[in-house]
Amino acid sequence: MALGDIGAAIGIAFTYFTIIYLTGLGGLFSERSGIVNIGLEGMMIVGTVTGSWGAHHFTLPPPDGLGWGLPWGPIMGLLIGMIAGATFATIHALATVTFRVDHIVSGVVINLVAVGLARFLSTIFFGQATQSDPGQPHMNPVNIPLLSSIPWGLGRAFQQLSPMVVVAGLLVFPVSFALYRTRWGLRLRSCGENPEAARSLGVRVAPLRYEGVLLSGALAGLAGAYLAVEVAYSWGEGQTQGLGFIALAALILSNWNPVRLMVASFVFGFAQAIPLRLADAPIFRLIPDQFVRMTPYIVTIVVLAGFVGKVRPPAAAGRAYEGGTT
């Protein structure tokens, strides 16, 4: 096993990191506002199909000099995936916040419906139910300056990355700022910890929870769109491969903290990359691929069971708030 393989594996891990981190951040906003969101996978699925359509549909740059040389197809794809994810998440918000349906029930339904919706949309968009035509436009990959020239092949980790990887990595700053340094973030978190107290201080719980859930849909949709547009270059059914649930696992391990979520997402991303790039390495040759792939789930169960570390979800997450809709 050469260091180059490790470099390449890290590069693939960055791709998975982006998907898991964006989706996990989505879950973070929702659950910090008090709404448990196990529908992340479904919101991702909607992002994949709509994002792919966006990238297909907007292949031509805007007329005369308005393109600014930007890859509008993929950008529109990502934006549309985001909007579609948020729109789809409205169902979850309506059900849980307005109608006070059990959060888990609604999340399960979201995941179920998403699969069907994706097929239905695919017939409209692409004329076939389970995939789009391959080879849609994507952004030019970038090399990270300095890091990509690390010798011994390790630099490969930072070469030919989608710009979205950088965006996802930098997202930790605005998210942390919004969550911990703004009034909005404090209010959002207070809705997740103690909505009654928040309300007594004049915080309007329901709108904030809507914002949390919609943000979560937007981010999960963006992650899905990134997967379809920037990674697979096309839409295919079952493309998300349960990454939404891995994001959920990462979110739990991070204790709902954006910085730790970054670490967890990368570690889980790396676990996904091992069977692809490091299967021949001495340690991993003995373990079947499938067991490597299930490590994120096993780790999460072990941590949840309290054998290692401690998990503390937002106190009010999952609880119906009966304080009216304002």
Partner 1 sequence: MATIEAPLPTTRERVRPEWLENIGGQLLALVAALVIALLLGSFIILAYGESPAVVYGAILQFSFGSKDGFGYVISIATPLIFSALAVAVCFKGGMFNIGVEGQYLVGMVVAAWAALKLDFLPGPLLMWVTILFGMLGAVAFALVPAVLKVKTGAHEVVTTIMMNGIAISLVAWAINGPLHFTQKLGAFNINLRTDPFNANARIPDLGHRFGVPESAHLSWLFPMALVTAAIVWFVLKRMRLGYEARAVGASAGSAQAGGISIGSVQIRLFILSGALAGLVGMQQLLADKGYLPVQYEAALGFTGIAVAFLGQNSPLGIVLAAILWGVLARGETAVQIDTNVPREFVIILQGILIISVVVTYQLAQRRLLARQLRKAAAVEELSDSAAVEDIEGLAKEDR
Judged by CB under 8 A, the chain residues 75 through 94 that form the site for partner 1 are 91
Residues 6+ apart with CB under 8 A from 71: 137, 138, 139, 140
Q: What is the DSSP string of 2-51?
A: -HHHHHHHHHHHHHHHHHHHHHHHHHHHHHHTT-----HHHHHHHHHHHH
Task: For helices 172-181 and 183-193, give the axis angle rounded to 10 degrees.
Answer: 70
Query: In this complex, which beta carbon is closest to partner 1, that of residue 191 or of residue 248?
Result: 248
CA distances, 213 to each of 138, 166, 182, 207, 224 (Å): 28, 24, 18, 10, 16
User: Please, what is the minimum distance in Å from the beta carbon of residue 251 to partner 1?
Assistant: 10
Which positions from 103 through 142 interact with partner 1, judged by CB under 8 A?
Answer: 104-106, 108-109, 111-113, 115-117, 119-120, 122-124, 129
Which of 25-33, 77-85, 166-174, 291-299 is the region at the interface with partner 1 (rule: CB under 8 A)? 291-299
Distance, CA of 112 to CA of 269 (rounded, Å): 25
- In whole angstroms, how close is the CB of 209 to partner 1 at the nearest point? 17
Q: Please, what is the minimum distance in Å from the beta carbon of residue 62 to partner 1?
A: 30
> Of 197, 283, 298, 315, which lies in the binding site for partner 1, with binding defined by CB under 8 A?
298
Minimum CB separation from partner 1 for residue 126, in Å?
12
Is residue 1 within the footprint of partner 1 (CB under 8 A)? no
Q: Tally the C-alpha atoms within 13 A of residue 191's C-alpha that lie toward its C-beta.
A: 32
Which residues ranging from 231 to 290 are in contact with partner 1 (CB under 8 A)?
242, 245-246, 248-249, 252, 288-290
Is the Cβ–Cβ distance between 152 and 133 less than 8 Å?
A: no
Query: By three-state DSSP, how is residue 168 classified?
Result: helix
296 lines the binding site for partner 1 (CB under 8 A):
yes
- DSSP class of residue 142? B
The single-letter code of the amino acid at 290 is Q
Report the nearest approach of partner 1 to the CB of residue 300 (Å).
5
Q: What DSSP letter does each residue of 239-262 carry, written as one string? A: TTTTHHHHHHHHHHHTTS-HHHHH
**Near partner 1 in 144-173, by CB under 8 A:** none
Nearer to partner 1 (CB atom), residue 2 or residue 301: 301
CB of 245 to partner 1, least distance (A): 6
Which residues contact partner 1 by CB under 8 A? 38, 91, 95, 99-102, 104-106, 108-109, 111-113, 115-117, 119-120, 122-124, 129, 242, 245-246, 248-249, 252, 288-291, 293-294, 296-298, 300-301, 304-307
